[in-house]
Amino acid sequence: MNLSEYILKFLISKNVKNVFLITGGAISFVVDAFSKNKKIKYTCVAHEQAAAMMADAYSRTGKGFAATMVTSGPGAQNLITGIACSWFDSVPVIHISGQVNSFELSSSNKTTQKVRQVGFQETDIVSIVKPITKFAYQLKRPNEIKYILEKAFHLSTTGRPGPVLIDIPMNFQKSKINLSKLKSFKVQKQKHSKTIIKNIYKIKKLLLKSKRPILILGGGIRISKSIKELENFLKIIDIPIVTTWSGLDTIDHRKKNYIGSIGVYGSRAANFAVQNSDLVLNLGSRLDTRITGGSPKTFARSAKIISVDIDKSELNKQRGLKIYLKINEDIKKFLSTLNSKFKTFQLSKYDAWKNTCLSWKSKYPIVKEIYYKQKKYVNPYCFIEKLSKNLSKKDIIFADDGGHLTWTMQAFQVKKGQRLISAFGNSPMGYAFPASLGAAIANNKKKIICIDGDGSIQMNIQELQTMIANNLPIKLFIMNNNGYGIIKQFQELYLGKRYEASVMSKGVTNPNFKKIAIAFGINYSEIRNNRKIDNILKKVLTSKNSEFVNVIIDPNQKIMPKLQFGNPIEDLSPLLSRNEFKKNMIIPELKNISFGFSESN
């Protein structure tokens, strides 16, 4: 067996059924190994950035591990944005890059160590990706391969997961290896945590004293594969629940205690709930600035915050936010220990508090009746609400980056089991479409929905060909507001409405999407106003083919509500009248605070 054949054997053992790749001289021997192995396939993509994003989504939504293969130099460099998506959102993926022959590496000779390049397309990809991978390594000898792959897999999938990259010189790829001589990587036994039970009792005590507790569900729940454990936990705890964006799909939004998502683009109701709470139990959210607003010290400022996070550095970061009880645990272990100990976890009832939160939810809906009356253009909030009503609990939905992501996250009503995914931490334009392809390949029976922007789709539009060539019946919705909507709104707020580089007259233009769809052989539809939504949705969602839907949005459509810079997250814009606002602030220390904003609606 040669080393390349061994790599495939290893990937198969980790349940990788498909590799996303683009070939090239320096990876050719590894790619050639597929000719001798029918247990694993590959998908040829059009851009390595898209390969990394496909692998990322394959891993997020599938059952196994995910992999890419790319050539040296530009092939490996193109992976970077996709690797960063996996890094920031803790997604396990292995990237295998080819490298020039080991004897052509600039590092292989004392006299060439300072030159930029010796071998053709030589790039020190390991140094480049080190800060965004859990492990990046250039193979030094062929017989290290087993040890290095096992180590990479272990690091990628355990603790806080993340991407890894193994760089393999060409001459090693074809070298024969003797399986009996290969060394294995020994996994160190994890220490048993002694504090977990103690902390659970502390939480129980704090809940007893609390009058207004709140539960935050973050991305850590999905990352740690704890949906079942969460469901069981919710049977023994009965307090208002809010989510972050990456926690949105951890819970059915019809659940009685669900209030909404929190943060800069959160719902008024959820933000009032967290800001008025006196105890926050945070499961797996980093509480980053999108959640806390620009001034973390104003976040949940009357509450004792309990955070459960597998990453100690997230608990110990000092940005003004005070975490009262830091629980450095894997959420799965934490919840399963807790669930096994208690038949009921809380002793108080909190009925009045729950009713207050629910009354905020009904008083401040994201999607207002009046939006449905809009005659011209499609209102994106109505569109997303209708789309979500028409989708089933098995469907997987991706959203890209921009206004359309925000409308989706604000208005989508998740059903139990559904996935709603974006590259939350990295948030590059161009993620959602290739990610949809990766998910379609990992879940070939499921319906995959891609919600994209007219700007963002153009970053990976070449993958329309990959979709067609692989017969992937993705439903692609372009929320077309003819420009960079989210940037325009920023420019209106902070840059005197100077729309530099965000609108057509300033250089941001769209192709004719109809011609593009036709050129690739994709069914094309348009939704021009609210009245047309139902019919077109019915048609495309029951179609067995790939569908390209151009949803025409008002170029001046805003994201509402949204936090204006400098305000605490309970005070979303458009601002409520100060009287109404103060009535909602039930915590005594905020009731009489002077906010300094003008009386305005």
Shortest CB 429 distance to ligand TPP, Å = 4
Question: CA-to-CA distance for 229 and 61, rounded, in angstroms?
Answer: 18
Shortest CB 83 distance to ligand TPP, Å = 14
Residues 6+ apart with CB under 8 A from 400: 422, 429, 430, 431, 432, 433, 450, 451, 452, 453, 456, 457
Shortest CB 519 distance to ligand TPP, Å = 21
| Nearer CB in complex with ligand TPP: 218/428 | 428
Q: Does 82 bind ligand TPP (CB under 6 A)?
A: no
Q: Does 427 bind ligand TPP (CB under 6 A)?
A: yes
Q: Does 86 bind ligand TPP (CB under 6 A)?
A: no
Question: CA-to-CA distance for 153 and 138, rounded, in angstroms?
Answer: 15
| Nearer CB in complex with ligand TPP: 266/485 | 485
| Nearer CB in complex with ligand TPP: 43/422 | 422
Q: How many CB atoms lie within 10 A of CB 571?
A: 24
The candidate with the shortest Cα–Cα distance to 570, out of 237, 267, 209, is 267
Structure tokens at 21: 């790749």
The three-point CA angle 570-575-579 to 5° equals 85
Strand order in the sheet with 135-138: 41-44, 18-21, 67-70, 93-99, 163-169, 135-138
Question: CA-to-CA distance for 80 and 123, rounded, in angstroms?
Answer: 13
Shortest CB 210 distance to ligand TPP, Å = 39
| Nearer CB in complex with ligand TPP: 31/51 | 51
Q: Does 485 bind ligand TPP (CB under 6 A)?
A: yes
Residue number, nearest CB to ligand TPP: 453
Among 86, 456, 546, 550, binds ligand TPP (CB under 6 A): 456
Which DSSP symbol is given to 282? E
Shortest CB 506 distance to ligand TPP, Å = 12
Among 138, 481, 546, 584, binds ligand TPP (CB under 6 A): 481
Shortest CB 430 distance to ligand TPP, Å = 6
Among 24, 62, 142, 453, binds ligand TPP (CB under 6 A): 453
Q: Does 403 bind ligand TPP (CB under 6 A)?
A: yes
Question: CA-to-CA distance for 99 and 20, rounded, in angstroms?
Answer: 18
How do strand 135-138 and strand 163-169 relate by DSSP bridges? parallel
Shortest CB 463 distance to ligand TPP, Å = 15
| Nearer CB in complex with ligand TPP: 45/94 | 45
Which region, judged by CB under 6 A, interacts with ligand TPP, from 33-41, 108-116, 256-264, 485-493?
485-493
Question: CA-to-CA distance for 105 and 354, rounded, in angstroms?
Answer: 64
Residues 6+ apart with CB under 8 A from 182: 143, 145, 146, 147
Instruction: Tell me which residue has tokens 């972050």.
Output: 244
Question: CA-to-CA distance for 373 and 237, rounded, in angstroms?
Answer: 40
Which region, judged by CB under 6 A, interacts with ligand TPP, from 15-23, 42-50, 307-315, 482-490?
482-490
Structure tokens at 36: 């001798």
Among 402, 434, 561, 568, binds ligand TPP (CB under 6 A): 402
Q: Does 169 bind ligand TPP (CB under 6 A)?
A: no
Residues 10-49 that bind ligand TPP (CB under 6 A): none
Q: Does 561 bind ligand TPP (CB under 6 A)?
A: no
Shortest CB 461 distance to ligand TPP, Å = 12
| Nearer CB in complex with ligand TPP: 104/288 | 288
Q: What is the largest CA-CA distance in the chain?
A: 77
Which region, judged by CB under 6 A, interacts with ligand TPP, from 152-160, 344-352, 414-422, 425-433?
425-433
Q: Does 94 bind ligand TPP (CB under 6 A)?
A: no
For residue 201, report the phi and psi dihedrals to the nearest 5 degrees.
-65, -35
Q: Does 168 bind ligand TPP (CB under 6 A)?
A: no
Shortest CB 136 distance to ligand TPP, Å = 22
Specify which residues 295 forms β-bridges with.
none
Shortest CB 456 distance to ligand TPP, Å = 3
User: Does residue 409 contact residue 270 with C-beta atoms inside 8 Å?
Assistant: no
Residues 190-229 that bind ligand TPP (CB under 6 A): none
Question: CA-to-CA distance for 506 and 406, rounded, in angstroms?
Answer: 24
Structure tokens at 236: 């023994």
Shortest CB 553 distance to ligand TPP, Å = 8
| Nearer CB in complex with ligand TPP: 214/429 | 429
Q: Does 454 bind ligand TPP (CB under 6 A)?
A: yes
Q: Does 486 bind ligand TPP (CB under 6 A)?
A: yes
Question: CA-to-CA distance for 519 and 270, rounded, in angstroms?
Answer: 45
Instruction: Tell me which residue has tokens 């939480």.
Output: 203
Q: How many CB atoms lie within 10 A of CB 109?
A: 12
| Nearer CB in complex with ligand TPP: 73/453 | 453
Number of residues forming the site for ligand TPP (CB under 6 A): 18
Which region, judged by CB under 6 A, interacts with ligand TPP, from 164-172, 348-356, 399-407, 437-445?
399-407
Structure tokens at 539: 């048609």
Query: What string of DSSP letters covers 117-147?
Result: -SSTT---HHHHHGGGSSEEEE-SSGGGHHH
Question: CA-to-CA distance for 504 and 270, rounded, in angstroms?
Answer: 36
Residues 279-338 that bind ligand TPP (CB under 6 A): none
| Nearer CB in complex with ligand TPP: 411/429 | 429
User: Does residue 58 contact residue 20 with C-beta atoms inside 8 Å?
Assistant: yes
Structure tokens at 277: 């709470």
Shortest CB 401 distance to ligand TPP, Å = 5
Question: CA-to-CA distance for 484 and 556, rounded, in angstroms?
Answer: 10
| Nearer CB in complex with ligand TPP: 26/420 | 420
Cis bond upstream, residue 574 (ω within 30): yes
Provide the binding-site residues for ligand TPP, judged by CB under 6 A. Answer: 400-404, 427-429, 453-456, 479, 481, 484-487
